[in-house]
Amino acid sequence: MQRPRPIDLICCHGTKGEVTPIRIRVRDEDGQYQAYSIKEYRDLSHQGARQMPDGVYVSDNTLVFECKINVFGKEKLVRVYSNNPYLSWVMTP
């Protein structure tokens, strides 16, 4: 299990409280920011307390999105997490 990495996440907040992830920005090994548009996502939030396949423990209040991004021409699946009300985001590969 790799440790979750802090990220910047651009998301859209709907009128009914829904959150849609749009873009991820993360620092690479050299400290440079890399940005990735989210091609597809699946909302895995509010399904009870559990351990995710990548080893992250979540509660019913954790926002969890499984996102497809394109990295150097290859599709990659990542999960992004946030615990309300702090709205800081982390990502696991």
Query: Per residue in 52-86, pLDDT tens?
Result: 999 999 999 999 999 999 998 999 999 999 986 66
Say what the pLDDT of residue 52 is.
Answer: 94
Identity of residue 41:
Y
Q: What is the mean pLDDT of the chain?
A: 91
Q: What is the pLDDT of residue 1?
A: 60
3-state class (DSSP) for residue 23: strand
With 80 as the cut, is the pLDDT of residue 87 above it? no
For the whole model, what pTM was predicted?
Answer: 0.88
- pLDDT reported for residue 88: 86
Residues found in the chain: 93
Contact 90, 6 (CB under 8 A): yes
Give me the half-sphere count of Cα atoms (radius 13 Å) on the Cβ side of residue 40. 5
